[in-house]
Amino acid sequence: MSNTPLIISAAIVGAELTREMYPHLPLTPDEIAEAAEDAVKAGASIIHLHVRDEEGNPTQRVDVFETVTEKIRNRCDCILQYSTGGAVGTPVELRCNPVSLKPDMATLSMGTMNFGSEIYENTEETITTIAKAICDNGVMAELEVFDFGQIETVSRMVKKGLIPAKHHMDFVLGVPGGMSATISNLVMLVTRLKEGQTWAVAGLGRGQLPMTMHAIAMGGHVRVGIEDNIYYKKGELAVSNAQLVERAVRIAAEYERPAATVAQAREILGLAG
């Protein structure tokens, strides 16, 4: 069994949720920074970051990312990972823009797919454009794989030099339109990885808890948080992102996998400084 410290990524806001859907959703820069600090205090080392505009709508505006980043940095040390996925339908130029602020990491979604009743567009051209923005800014990519074919896309695009060979992998399982959050799917995906490749899984909805448990047992890392799952258990909303992080920490402790400190997470991921 792997005793590697567990990197917990907290997806604290997302782009899809509203206050009507989840009353504790952090929306303002101060609320998002507070949620980030609480998640880090609970054991998260990566903050997967989306931001909202003055109306609470998802935005890829650089000034908002800058404000939120400053507020988070003033409160705590963490690995900041910007979303380049944004919301469904966000034009590719806007998706790339925040990467100019040179966060520690940025996401790179690996294929076009149905996303509920919408289409999440990630053609090879889109992926290449975002990958270039990520590489030009010296940022580490976290590849978001939602479906099995996308892992083939990763191999093909790495071979062509279109996406960075050195990356962190995140399997996002349970999106309606992608692979479901089952252990057999997770095992199938993990077996396709190269030796030494770091990986995490984000299970959506009720898949968050079992995917967390399986990843911990398999030696992978995890993403939890409100972006992916608003429930603590059936019929009971989570009270905060930190509550979901705390649960992952407790389960991991039983497997003798302490939550990675930020420094340990940097080392495991091969992030400089």
- Residues lying near Zn ion in the complex (CB under 5 A) are found at 83
CA nearest neighbour of 84 among 141, 3, 137:
141
Window 107-146: contact mask with ligand KMH (x via CB under 6 A):
x-x-----x----x-----------------------x--
Task: Retrieve residue 171's tokens.
Answer: 């399997």
**Dist CA 215 CA 196 (whole Å):** 15
Residue closer to ligand KMH, measured from CB, 144 or 246: 144
- Residues 71 to 100 in contact with ligand KMH, rule: CB under 6 A: 83-85, 87-88
Find the shortest distance in angstroms from Cβ 90 to Zn ion: 11
CA nearest neighbour of 242 among 76, 6, 7, 10:
10
Q: At 208, which amino acid appears?
A: Q
Which residue among 15, 39, 47, 186 contacts ligand KMH (CB under 6 A)? 15
Find the shortest distance in angstroms from Cβ 258 to ligand KMH: 27
Find the shortest distance in angstroms from Cβ 196 to Zn ion: 26
Q: At 207, which amino acid appears?
A: G
Window 142-181: contact mask with ligand KMH (x via CB under 6 A):
--x-------------------------------------
**Dist CA 38 CA 208 (whole Å):** 19
Q: Where are the alpha helices (DSSP H) in 121-271?
A: 124-136, 148-159, 183-190, 208-218, 241-254, 262-269
Q: What is the length of the chain?
A: 273
Find the shortest distance in angstroms from Cβ 132 to ligand KMH: 16
Window 22-51: contact mask with ligand KMH (x via CB under 6 A):
------------------------------
Q: Is the distance from CB of 122 to CB of 98 less than 8 angstroms?
A: no
Position 229 contacts ligand KMH (CB under 6 A): no
Q: At 160, which amino acid appears?
A: K
**Dist CA 75 CA 73 (whole Å):** 5
Residue closer to ligand KMH, measured from CB, 3 or 180: 180
**Residues at the interface with ligand KMH (CB under 6 A):** 15-16, 83-85, 87-88, 107, 109, 115, 120, 144
